[in-house]
Amino acid sequence: MSEPDNQPAASADSTDQIESAGVQITERDVVFECPHCQGELVVDREGAGLTVNCSLCSQPVTVPDYQGPSLHYLQAVTEKLSEALQTARKGTPRSFDYEGRPPEELERRRQEVQRQLRELQNQALEARAHINHTRIQLHRYQLKLEMLYERQTELKAELDALLSASQRPAP
């Protein structure tokens, strides 16, 4: 379940490094709590499974497995993206005046604009595919959660039956 690495630099969420509470966090980082001092530690996923010394209390800690981008990272990127969207919506629409410009300049610019447009269209397709995928995953987890609750109810009922039977032993 990995994110595509070929994010074009032009996208608003291209920032792969984000600051959270004064610590730089990237998509590749494992963010975890030191079991000794409860401080927040950030280690690149290459370090998963290794034992390192906590940068806060110097005690040895084992870096947990990488399980996709951390919540810290996702929250920070989402916040940033939402701010960028607000700014973009507030901005006054740009006007374009290319009157009297030399044809080669117009042609060069036309090609560049078309290239950017294609890139954004591809990014939009990709984002839509992610949304669909995530929606299905979400539905799957909701069903799974309901199944777990069903099973818990069943086990509790069985436990009750066992307890009450053991209080009234068979004659």
- DSSP state at residue 146: H
For Zn ion, which is the closer residue by CB, 23 or 37? 37
For Zn ion, which is the closer residue by CB, 8 or 39? 39
Contact 42, 31 (CB under 8 A): yes
For Zn ion, which is the closer residue by CB, 31 or 34? 34
For Zn ion, which is the closer residue by CB, 55 or 82? 55
Question: What's the token pair of residue 12?
Answer: 């608003």
Which residue shows structure tokens 């000794």?
36
The minimum distance between CB 73 and Zn ion, in angstroms, equals 21
The minimum distance between CB 35 and Zn ion, in angstroms, equals 8
- What is the binding site for Zn ion (CB under 5 A)? 34, 36-37, 39, 54, 56-57
The minimum distance between CB 33 and Zn ion, in angstroms, equals 9
The minimum distance between CB 54 and Zn ion, in angstroms, equals 3
Contact 74, 90 (CB under 8 A): no
Other beta carbons within 10 Å of 148: 10
26 φ/ψ angles, rounded to the nearest 5 degrees = -115, 170
